[in-house]
Amino acid sequence: MLIFLLIYFGIYGSMHAYFFWKTVQALQPQGWWLALLTGFLLLMLNGPILVRVLERNDQILGATAMAWVSYTWMAILLWFLSMGIVRDLWNTGVRAAALITPESYRLILPPKPAYIIIIVLISAATVLGFFEARDLKTERITIKTQLLPPGSKPVKVAQISDVHLGVIEGQKRIDQITSIIFDEKPDLLLCTGDFMDGAIPHLNHMSTYFAAINPPLGKFAVTGNHEFYAGLKESLAFLKDAGFTVLRGEAVTTGPVRVAGVDFPAERQTSQLSYTDEGAALDMGDDAGLFTILLKHQPFIEESSLGRFQLQLSGHTHKGQIFPFNYPVKLRYRYLAGLYDLGRGSRIYTSRGTGTWGPPLRLFAPPEVTIFMIEGVD
């Protein structure tokens, strides 16, 4: 925990210091204005920690208010840092060019006009991001296969991922998701992790909304990192109450398909036991030859698994959630979002996520419920 806090305050504190420096440089606040700016930034620096403290002490109203303010601020600060660095690099380039051609110096972006432009752009991005985060899309994917029994009807599969139920994502998101699921009437409902976020007790009543969904081929889920952060025992109990069978390094056959699932590899981060043996989960036995869906929270591929599943469903990336952070996330996760052909008869689909984490905003990465139609071919 100490190492985490040192890293958190080191990185996030530096970001706040950058904002403070640029604001003072541009606006030159004095007296109470300077004190107000300092106090606000100190509060926002500690905001995410205060959210968890309030939540765990059952101060849900206070936690919700702090979450909305501090997590929205997190996005604003990230955008400010990105645009501010671009402006700094531009001015550095102009100064270098001015050494050769002095008239280039007129292209310098002065502190105050640049600051105002950045704030206007961030304000527009925040408004757009707020509405996009609430616009839950239904994505549709058709997959042809020879592994369905002859004459069997298509299998309709719904995937949700990264809902992050908590003090921000609550009843309205539940209503959106369940409305889509009831309308679509899938044969199979799958969740690829991070269903909840934060302390569980005040979320328990929400499990009943999902318990009312009963697809004919069942409901299956795997753990994401946030199931472990929130408390694995409590998370598993919530998923069970919601009617999900949690697959932890195991597989089940349901109708004409087989569903396998593995845990998020949590030992290094939480010291909690996780079941990540993908090979064991994909051991077909007598069910070889069935269309196999692998549930795995992170969109990583094990080479030895190729050809042993036809479709891996993952999440975790949120497609970066707010532009332009899809680019650095892409450096970590090759299969950032969407459907990819892996070869040897295997594919992966990475969901953009069904909710939000941290900032209650999305920009160019709308949330989704994904509907797959698995159809046989003659």
Q: Are residues 153 and 74 in the same domain?
A: no
- Is residue 338 within 8 A of residue 349, CB to CB? The reply is yes
pLDDT of residue 369: 98
- Closest by CA to 52, choosing from 86, 104, 7, 1, is 1
62 and 205 assigned to the same domain: no
| Calpha distance 293→308 (Å, rounded) | 9
Is-contact 194 226, C-beta < 8 A?
yes
Supply the pLDDT for residue 279. Answer: 93
Residue type at 70 in one-letter notation: S
Say if residues 209 and 174 touch (Cβ distance below 8 Å): yes
- pLDDT at position 97, please? 92
What is the C-alpha separation between 364 and 337, in angstroms, rounded? 12
Same domain, 58 and 189: no
The set of residues, in sequence order, having a beta carbon less than 8 Å from that of 102 and lying 6+ positions away, is none
What single DSSP character describes residue 177? H
| Residue 82 pLDDT | 97
Scored b (16 or more CB within 10 A) or e, 105-134 reads eeeebebeebbeebbeebeebbeebbebbb
Which of 103, 132, 161 lies at the terminal end of a domain, its last residue?
A: 132
On whether both 145 and 104 belong to a single domain, the answer is: no
How far, in Å, CA of 163 to CA of 157, rounded? 17
Same domain, 86 and 210: no
The Cβ-side half-sphere exposure at 187, using a 13 Å CA radius, reads 16
The verdict on 232 and 83 lying in the same domain is no
DSSP-derived 3-state class of residue 273? coil
pTM, rounded to two decimals: 0.94
In terms of Cα–Cα distance, which of 227, 172, 158 is closest to 195? 227
Verify that 163 and 304 share a domain, yes or no. Answer: yes
Domain finish residue from 99, 132, 165: 132
H-state helical runs in 134-206: 171-184
Q: Could you list the residue range(s) of the whole structural domain that residue 95 is in?
A: 2-132
pLDDT at position 353, please?
Answer: 98
Q: Is 291:148 a contact under the CB 8 Å cutoff? A: yes
Domain boundary among 132, 164, 182: 132
128 and 201 in a common domain: no
Q: Do the beta carbons of residue 276 and residue 302 sit within 8 Å?
A: no
Same domain, 14 and 157: no
The dihedrals phi and psi of 291, each to the nearest 5 degrees, come to -65, 125
Do residues 370 and 141 lie in contact, with contact meaning Cβ atoms separated by under 8 Å? Answer: yes
List the chain pLDDT tens, one digit each, 378 residues.
Answer: 678 889 999 999 999 999 999 999 999 999 999 999 999 999 999 999 999 999 888 898 999 999 999 999 999 999 999 999 999 999 999 999 999 998 888 999 999 999 999 999 999 999 999 999 999 999 999 999 999 988 889 999 999 999 999 999 999 999 999 999 999 999 999 999 999 987 667 788 889 999 999 999 999 999 999 999 888 999 999 999 999 999 999 999 999 999 999 999 987 666 678 889 999 999 876 666 899 999 999 999 999 999 999 999 999 999 999 999 999 999 999 999 999 999 999 999 999 999 999 999 999 999 999 999 999 987
In angstroms, the CA 180 to CA 354 distance is 12
Same structural domain, 128 and 141: no
pLDDT of residue 289: 83
How far, in Å, CA of 80 to CA of 116, rounded? 11
Q: What is the CATH number of the domain that holds 342?
A: 3.60.21.10
Same domain, 314 and 205: yes
Kindly list the distances between the CA atom of residue 265 and the CA atoms of 34, 49, 115, 271, 308, in Å, as whole numbers in the listed order: 45, 24, 43, 10, 21
pLDDT by residue (tens digit) across 271-330? 678 889 999 999 876 666 899 999 999 999 999 999 999 999 999 999 999 999 999 999
Where are any strands of DSSP class E within the chain?
A: 137-145, 155-160, 188-191, 219-221, 245-246, 250-254, 257-261, 291-295, 311-314, 338-343, 346-350, 368-376
The confidence score (pLDDT) of residue 218 equals 98
Claim to verify: residue 125 and residue 144 sit in the same structural domain: no
Number of domains in the chain: 2
DSSP 8-state class, residue 247: P
CA distances, 57 to each of 22, 237, 251, 285 (Å): 36, 20, 38, 48
Distance in angstroms (rounded) separating the CA atoms of residues 72 and 84: 18
Q: Report how far residue 180's alpha carbon sits from residue 63's, in angstroms, rounded to the nearest whole number.
A: 29
